[in-house]
Amino acid sequence: MIRSMTGFGSASKTKNGLTAAVELKSVNYRFKEVNARMPRTLLYLEDKIKQTIFKHIQRGRLELFVSVDDEALVSRKIQVDWPLLDEYLKAAGEMKDRCRLSGEITLHDAFQFEHVIQIEEEPVHNEQLEQVLLEAVEAAVLELCTMREAEGLRLKEDCLLHIAKLEKLTDDIEKLAPRVVDHYRERLEARLEEWSSDRLDESRLLTEVALFADRSDITEEVTRLKSHFRQFRDICETGGAAGRKLDFLVQELNREANTIGSKANDHQITKHVVEMKSSIEKIKEQVQNIE
């Protein structure tokens, strides 16, 4: 199945009181890349998360957003700087004696002393949280793929409509091609008659017409175009990561159209080539979004 590189997916999973929420956004890109935004304490899981995503994604730039319960990420401990507290109490006693102050230092006062109480946090490697998070990533990427497949179907249908138009234009050009030589012969005869009062040199005329026919022959280009059309349809039906293959074929379609345009010395064929290049450009724009 043809898939777009544009999509969105989200999921939230909860297990044993642990919750992980994931969002994924993807846009077109030549390769595959994940830009992860998650709590620093979860960065050790980044490789596992990417492996989970890349099981389903072949191309595209993805933005990953992860949020989890903060309580599950760290363990917190209170540390008391006992020597510093002793200094505070000693200084308070000296101030009381020297300045004849009244009152006693309470527990509440002690907790207000600067730098005496510190809360230390340590990252927690919670296996259950890892499992919940990876399950959320898997669900989000599957939803993303569903959207990419739906968009890919629309891209495929649009591309094949343009391919059908190109096939029609190619058939028309193939029918017009033989008359180009006939018209050239007629114009050449008229010019020779105008320039010369003598009898026309039939052998010279035939030679000139033969040379022109050889230079303007587009049989090979038409044959290659038809082959490219078949390949394009086959790739679309086969599916998979087809973007690069289709992009190459679009370049070849453009090359053949340009060659026909440069060879064909005919207004109608030139008009058809302009229409072909317009359709090829539209296919190119769509193919750039295909995985």
Average pLDDT of every residue of the chain: 85
Per-residue pLDDT of 189-214, as tens digits, reads: 555 555 555 555 556 555 655 555 44
Per-residue CA distances from 213 to 108, 178, 179, 209, 272 (Å) = 103, 9, 10, 6, 20
pLDDT band for position 216 (cuts 50, 70, 90)? low
Q: What integer pLDDT is reported at residue 119 of this predicted model?
A: 78
Residue 76 has a CB neighbour count (10 Å cut-off) of: 9
- What single-letter amino acid sits at 105? I
Structure tokens belonging to residue 276: 């072909």
pLDDT band for position 157 (cuts 50, 70, 90)? very high
Per-residue pLDDT of 82-108, as tens digits, reads: 898 888 888 888 888 888 888 888 888
Contacts of 118-122 with CB under 8 Å at 24 or more apart are 118/78, 118/79, 118/80, 118/81, 119/76, 119/77, 119/78, 119/79, 120/76, 120/77, 120/78, 120/79, 121/74, 121/75, 121/76, 122/74, 122/75, 122/77
Q: What integer pLDDT is reported at residue 127 of this predicted model?
A: 79
CA angle 58/64/69 to nearest 5° reads 140
Q: What is this structure's pTM?
A: 0.71
% of residues, the chain, pLDDT over 90: 48
d(CA 127, CA 72): 11
Greatest mean pLDDT among 53-57, 91-95, 214-218, 235-239 lies in 53-57
Of 101-110, 137-146, 273-282, give the lowest mean pLDDT range: 101-110
- Please, what is the end-to-end C-alpha distance for the chain in angstroms? 10
pLDDT band for position 6 (cuts 50, 70, 90)? very high
Q: What integer pLDDT is reported at residue 130 of this predicted model?
A: 86
Per-residue CA distances from 287 to 39, 46, 151, 232, 241 (Å) = 36, 31, 12, 11, 11
Q: What integer pLDDT is reported at residue 194 of this predicted model?
A: 54
Task: Tell me the average pLDDT across 1-26.
Answer: 91
pLDDT band for position 273 (cuts 50, 70, 90)? very high
Structural domains of the chain ordered from first start: 7-71+126-148 (3.30.230.70), 74-123 (no CATH), 151-287 (no CATH)
Q: What integer pLDDT is reported at residue 165 of this predicted model?
A: 96
pLDDT band for position 281 (cuts 50, 70, 90)? very high
Residue 188 has pLDDT above 80, yes or no: no
Task: Tell me the average pLDDT across 220-228.
Answer: 92
DSSP string spanning 54-84? HTT-SSEEEEEEEEE-GGGTEEEEEEE-HHH
DSSP string spanning the chain? ---BS-EEEEEEEEETTEEEEEEEEEE--SSEEEEEE--GGGGGGHHHHHHHHHTT-SSEEEEEEEEE-GGGTEEEEEEE-HHHHHHHHHHHHHHHHHHT------HHHHHHSTTTEEEEEEE---HHHHHHHHHHHHHHHHHHHHHHHHHHHHHHHHHHHHHHHHHHHHHHHHHHHHHHHHHHHHHHHHHHHHH-SSPP-HHHHHHHHHHHHHHT--HHHHHHHHHHHHHHHHHHHH-SS-HHHHHHHHHHHHHHHHHHHHH---HHHHHHHHHHHHHHHHHHHHHTTB-
Residue 55 has pLDDT above 80, yes or no: yes
Q: What integer pLDDT is reported at residue 203 of this predicted model?
A: 61
Per-residue pLDDT of 56-70, as tens digits, reads: 999 999 999 998 876
d(CA 68, CA 23): 12
